[in-house]
Amino acid sequence: MKLTREEREIIITKTDAEDVWHVSLRSQNKYARKLLEIASELGITTVLNGGYTEFDLPFECINLSGPRRVTAKQMANLRPHPENLRYRRDLSVNSRQKRSYEEPP
């Protein structure tokens, strides 16, 4: 059965009451294969339910992190956080009226 791009999905959920990730797969891409590999290494049984392969993984098995690289376009769209800025006065003629922010070195 060939799935469209929209139908190929991986759903990972977690409730506060449990210390496991509930994984539902309907894809065979590299991420799905890696999750299935982890499940088989841990001896976790998978269940086929309505076209989805479902199983629970221990909380420690999945680590969520941010993007690995930030492109120049993404950097241009980022605004500096106020805590990362230091306030300074311009040493110009109108220094009492002009104030600017700069990023720390």
1-49 confidence digits (pLDDT tens): 677 777 778 889 988 888 899 999 988 888 899 999 999 999 999 999 8
pLDDT tens figures, 65-83? 776 777 777 777 776 655 5
* Residue 18: inside a domain: yes
Report the domain count for the chain: 2
What's the pLDDT score for residue 4? 78
CA distance 10 to 55: 12
* Residue 56: inside a domain: yes
pTM score > 0.85 for this model? no
Write out the residue range of the structural domain in which residue 35 sits.
10-61
Question: Are 17 and 50 part of one and the same domain?
Answer: yes
CA distance 100 to 98: 7
* Residue 1: inside a domain: no
What's the pLDDT score for residue 87? 46
Q: What is the DSSP string of 40-85?
A: HHTT---EEETTEEEEEEEGGG------S---HHHHHHPPPPGGG-
What's the pLDDT score for residue 104? 53
CA distance 19 to 71: 35
